[in-house]
Amino acid sequence: MLFSQQTEDFRAVKMYYNQHRSMLNQEFKKKFDKEQNNFVKISIKKDFQLFMRKMDSIENVALIGVLLKTKNLEDLERFNSVKSQIQNRKDVAQTIDKDADYPGGINALRQEVANLFYSDGVYTDVKDLKTHVDFIVEKDGSISHVKAEGENFTFNRQAEIALYSVAEKFSPLYINGIPVRSRFKLPLSLKFD
């Protein structure tokens, strides 16, 4: 399926930029350690911080590109599967054996999303932002079809990127002993000072 690959795209972007951050950190550290003049050291430190902020911004643009690719692939897959879902529908009594769950629970998911969230990519004059993020937990526990709905587009986009970027998979919903896709809704809020 495409979904595990899509999440892998987000991981690949993160790994690529983390590797470059590490290399740049080493080079700036060499230059900093070699310098004797304290004023020049301060300048090197400021240059490093500015460069890292720009690197974060560039990484965010790459993640937005992956988000667009992911959403387009999901839309194509959804259009192709609607017909087969209608044809395969069975009217069978359903018993929920186990709800979908994230390792460590919903609070662990919230914390991971918070850690992955790029707040510099949110543009707003409002201090309190809220969104509701809908997504599908697939049969294999991966996340797909992430859609954030709130008043601020940039906040929604960063929430979607963060959710697609979570490291762990869910344990899926089980009905009649069979893993099935399920819909999940996660409310998120952010306060700016």
Q: Mean of the per-residue pLDDT values for the chain?
A: 85
Structure tokens belonging to residue 21: 């951050």
Share of the chain above pLDDT 90, in %: 50
Between CA 108 and CA 53 the distance in angstroms is 27
Report the SS3 class of residue 15: helix
* pTM of the entire predicted model: 0.73
Find out whether 160 and 133 touch, Cβ atoms under 8 Å.
yes
Segment 114-125 shows an average pLDDT of 90
Q: Give the residue numbers spanning the domain of 42.
A: 3-191
Segment 52-69 shows an average pLDDT of 90
99-119 burial, b at 16+ Cβ within 10 Å, e below that, comes to ebbbeeeeeebeebbeebbbe
DSSP classification of residue 101 = B
pLDDT in tens, 79-117: 666 544 544 555 555 667 788 889 999 999 999 999 999
Of 24, 98, 7, the closest CA to residue 58 belongs to 24
Whether 136 shows a pLDDT value over 80: the answer reads yes
Residue 148, C-beta contacts closer than 8 angstroms, at least 6 positions apart: 131, 132, 133, 134, 155, 156, 157, 159, 160, 163, 188
- DSSP-derived secondary structure for 36-78: --HHHHHHHHHHHHHHHHHHHHHHHHHHHHHHHHHHHHHHHHH
**What is the pLDDT, as a whole number, of residue 86?**
43
Structure tokens belonging to residue 10: 């987000």
- Domains: count for the chain: 1
Structure tokens belonging to residue 108: 């662990």
Place of tokens 């089980």: 174
Between CA 11 and CA 17 the distance in angstroms is 10
